[in-house]
Amino acid sequence: MDLLLTARGGDGQSGSSESELAVGPEVDAAGDLSAGLARSRGGFMARIRGILRSGPSDADWEAVEELLISGDVGGGLAMEVVERARARKDAPSAEAAVRAELTARLLPGEHGWRPQPGNPGEPAVILVVGVNGTGKTTTIGKLAHLYRVEGSSVLLAAADTFRAAAIDQLRIWSDRTASQFVSHAPGADPAAVIYDALDAAVARHCDVVIADTAGRLHTKSNLMDELAKMRRVIDKRLPGAEPEVLFVLDATTGQNGLSQARVFNETVGLTGIVLTKLDSTAKGGIVFAIEDSLRVPVRFVGVGEKLGDLLPFEPEAFVGALFG
């Protein structure tokens, strides 16, 4: 990779510690969707395929519904998929019918989606939110990698000011991806970090700003209010920006993730979802449940801990990898 840039990292509050970086982002192979879905494919999906191949009886269809539920597809949706698959006359096989119905439950993919600036010459803004430990900061590193390799300039905003270690963790990702970095001292107002990061990004003509936020439980209203304030600050500094508000959901959380997502959606208006740790779960069916319950698109899936392990979500490729 021959990308070169001059990054001015440093502390947005003091304006100090400018560092010259003459390095490109680390290059990392793209992750493998099929490998990432191996547990789900070999788990509930393998059993579903086994049943469907033998010309399913009524009892078999019931078993398929139960298996879909066990894979986190959700009760209502599993029933709908089975009912519609059974009624389908056009499919060459029961497996093809279920596959088509599952694909039809997903929102249409936006091939090549990328965040857009609200106004020409301004940066596109991504605000990354979610409960504790879902993979927000790691996802930001992976996103930065993706956009840097494409040749975009990226600025990471350390608006998780809750722990000093969180700021350091993001700084390491900014170094690895040769992204710019704005932080304040631990304990500072996260909304102020975002304001300064947007200022810096405009001044430095950055293409994309990605803001990290502290993990928070959706039940803590003061912390949810803090998030709403961050969202408002973006509108204030960049009117019309229409930031991408990405909710990072840990796929291993199961159906609890849906109630988390709903509260975050009410507070900050989610525009996209990243489903992480798909490699660690046999319940990849949560993808169908989350899109169905929120009507917010899954933008990316996380399939591992390496920089390249974030893949754009393509509905047909996803269902294809589930069936194998």
Ligand X SMILES: Nc1nc2c(ncn2[C@@H]2O[C@H](COP(=O)(O)OP(=O)(O)OP(=O)(O)O)[C@@H](O)[C@H]2O)c(=O)[nH]1
Interface with ligand X (CB under 6 A): 130, 132-138, 160, 166, 215, 276-277, 279-280, 302-305, 309
Cβ neighbours of residue 216 closer than 8 Å, sequence gap 6 or more: 131, 132, 223, 224, 226, 227
Site mask, Mg ion, residues 195-234, x = CB under 5 A? ----------------------------------------
- Closer of 140 and 155 to ligand X (Cβ): 140
**Least Cβ distance, residue 36 to ligand X (angstroms):** 8
Minimum distance from residue 131 beta carbon to ligand X (Å): 7
Give the residue ranges of DSSP H helices in 128-183.
136-149, 164-176
Residue at shortest CB range from ligand X: 215
CB of 231 to ligand X, least distance (A): 18
Interface segment toward Mg ion; rule CB under 5 A; list 69-77, 133-141, 184-192, 241-249: 133-141
Tokens (6 digits) for 116: 């857009």
> Which segment (83-91, 134-142, 239-247, 307-315) binds Mg ion by CB under 5 A?
134-142
φ, ψ of residue 300 to 5 degrees: the values are: -140, 155
Q: Supply 45's token pair.
A: 């999906």
Sort strands 298-302 and 310-312 into parallel, antiparallel or unpaired: antiparallel
- Which stretches within 163-281 are classed as H helix? 164-176, 190-203, 221-237, 256-268
Question: Looking at beta carbons only, is 158 or 296 nearer to Mg ion?
Answer: 158
Query: Which residue number has the CB closest to Mg ion?
Result: 137
Among 308, 132, 294, which Cα is nearest to 213's?
A: 132
Please say which residue, 134 or 260, places its beta carbon nearer to ligand X: 134
Residues 283 and 44: beta-carbon distance below 8 Å? yes
* Beta carbon of residue 267, minimum distance to ligand X (angstroms, whole number): 16
The residues with which 91 forms a beta bridge, in sequence order, are none
What gap in Å lies between CA 37 and CA 242, rounded to an integer? Answer: 32
H or E element, residue 181: strand 180-182
Supply the DSSP symbol for 72: T
Q: Is 137 in the site for Mg ion (CB under 5 A)?
A: yes
Q: Which is nearer to Mg ion, 137 or 183 (CB)?
A: 137
| Residue nearer to Mg ion on the CB measure, 101 or 250 | 250
What does the buried/exposed string (b/e) look like for 294-306 if buried means 16 or more CB atoms within 10 Å of the residue's CB? bebbbbbbbbbeb
> What is the spatial distance between Cα 126 and Cα 212, in angstroms, rounded to a whole number?
9
What is the closest distance, in whole angstroms, from the C-beta atom of residue 144 to ligand X in the complex? 13
Q: Which does 283 bind (CB under 5 to 8 A by kind): ligand X, Mg ion, none?
A: none
* Spatial CA neighbour of 124 closest among 61, 201, 68, 191: 201
Least CB distance to ligand X at residue 162 (A): 8
Q: Which is nearer to ligand X, 105 or 136 (CB)?
A: 136
Q: Which is nearer to ligand X, 152 or 276 (CB)?
A: 276
| 64 interacts with, out of Mg ion, ligand X, none, CB within 5 to 8 A per kind | none
- State both tokens at 162: 């809750």
Please, what is the Cα angle at 220 between 214 and 226, to 5 degrees? 50
The least CB distance from residue 157 to Mg ion, in Å, is 13
What is the nearest approach in angstroms of ligand X to the Cβ of residue 307?
Answer: 11
Site size toward Mg ion (CB under 5 A) is: 2
CB nearer to Mg ion: pick between 136 and 218: 136
Distance between CA 115 and CA 101 in Å, rounded? 29
The contact set with Mg ion (CB under 5 A) reads 136-137
